[in-house]
Structure 1
């Protein structure tokens, strides 16, 4: 992975595909890292796109950060600074869950940086399960993930994946088991995020919201229709996928992304 210091933190990222390809930036979910997009990255680099997948601060191979610098607003500024550093001008920005919170903020506030924003398994609203999630987050920060792995897996994956995709689920369960208690600080920033519905009004960036039909965390209409209405965009629902829809059904997601990108006449 390459690393760069931007916005007061060190971000790790993978930059693949032809340098003259239309750029796509992938932004991952809480509890994952850039590898949740491996299948999509491979698909789009083979299609001639330049693909960047990065790790958020305090996650993956990126630098640590204190809780007060892990709010979603700061993470969105990290993403903006990374895209400016890479110097490729506008990009397609694709984010799952936490990455979707980042995508929404860039679409509303940094429109000059984006061709489009795709938001998967995410929300433009304040956390509707704050009272339920807050004690879990503090438990994570104090004790790590060991006691909460079943809860995390149910939160992040749909029923089809949990019962029919054991290899994928085992890999990510083991990944989550190794996470430091500092992941609780990142989770705190996620659940205490601000509402973006009104700020998306009049958004000039094309927005696609992709919802998993089995999302246990932000089901339709939160992860789809509400975002589309707020932004003037479009939403679709993917069967057989939960909250981590980009990871669970990359084949179907790739089809939706290809259609979406084709609606825009852009060049690198």
Structure 2
């Protein structure tokens, strides 16, 4: 990991691929960190692209937040914009899974000069429609972190049925990681489920947007993670079979193919 000061935060990032390659900026999901993009990074760099996967403020190896306000989707968006500027890599192809998609959509709406394309994976441009369901879970995280009592619920939210049934190293790696989450994750999660609506702000979006939905997404199924985003941003959507909420992890080959097609569409 490398580190850089951006927007008052010390952000950790992993930079791979040719220095002169087109850049994919990879923005991770809640309960994960930039390591969720390791399989996707191998494919994209093998195709000649440069990837920069970063940890959001308050998560992974990046600096903690001084207040819960610094963890809002708006604040994380400004962190992402500052990171692009600090590294001098814009405009980038911005890709975000779930929470990361909330950030990349805001980049498209508010900083179009910094992004060539935007792709969301298992994300949404609307307010949280499962607030009543997720609210108690978030509060329990503040008491226990990702302890054993919450871990199966988190895995069900974050992965599709096919991935959970298959089990194996993928699920066990992230089971261990999520179980180790500290109670501080509560503030990150609270900001995720209390985010603002973005539909109207995306009207007239100038950045090409692709919304990728997992067929088995338990959190944001179609049309939330696909058609609704595409319609709001004037983009298009795709559905990936046998994938849940963590599309980038569950189906990296298919996601990479769609990302490359999307990137080449603006070449």
TM bracket (short chain): over 0.9
Q: Which residue of 2 aligns with 1:83?
A: 84
Deviation at 1:85, TM superposition (A): 0.5
The aligned counterpart of 1:232 is 234
Q: How many residues are treated as equivalent by the alignment? A: 265
2:248 corresponds to: 246
Measure the CA separation in 2 of the matches of 1:68 and 1:105. 17
**Within-5 A mapping of 1:130-149:** 130-146=131-147, 147-149=149-151
Preserved CA contact (<8 Å) 2:118 2:208? yes
| Runs of 4+, deviation exceeding 6 Å | none
Q: 2:31, 2:91 → 1: CA distance? A: 28
Match of 1:94 in 2: 95
Separation of aligned partners in 1, 2:43 and 2:247: 16
Deviations 1:64-90 (A, max 9, x none): 113221111000100000000010220
- Once the two structures are TM-superposed, the CA of residue 215 in structure 1 deviates from its matched residue by 0.1
Range 218-227 or range 35-44, more displaced: 35-44
- Structure 2 match to 1:118: 119
Q: CA deviation at 1:166?
A: 2.1
Contact preservation (8 Å) 2:157, 2:218: yes
For 2:129, what is the secondary structure of its paired residue? coil
Match of 1:49?
Answer: 49
SS for the counterpart of 1:95 is strand
CA contact (8 A) 2:69 2:75 kept: no
Which residue of the partner structure matches residue 16 of structure 1?
16
SS in 1 for 2:195: coil
- Separation (CA, whole Å) in 2 of partners of 1:252 and 1:136: 31
Q: How much has 1:121 moved relative to structure 2?
A: 0.1
Residues 8-38 of structure 1: CA distance to partner in whole angstroms, max 9, x if unpaired? 1111001111111111100000000101110
Query: What CA deviation, in whole Å up to 9, does each residue of 1:18-63 have, x standing for no partner?
Result: 1111111000000001011101111111211111000001111001
Supply the RMSD in Å over aligned alpha carbons: 0.8
Match of residue 214, structure 1, among 212, 216, 223: 216
Pick which of 134-143 and 244-253 moved more.
Answer: 134-143
Give the distance between the partners of 2:87 and 2:45, measured in 1 at CA.
17
SS at match of 1:125: coil
Conserved 8 A contact 2:121-2:247: yes
Using the alignment, how far apart are the partners of 1:30 and 1:91 within structure 2? 22
Give the TM-score normalised by the residue count of structure 2: 0.98
Quote the Cα distance in structure 2 between the aligned partners of 1:46 and 1:245: 20
Task: Give per-residue Cα distances to partners, 1:110-132, cap 9 Å, x unaligned.
Answer: 00000000000000000001111
Provide the C-alpha distance between the structure 1 equivalents of 2:231 and 2:213, rounded to a whole number of angstroms: 14
1:60 aligned partner: 60
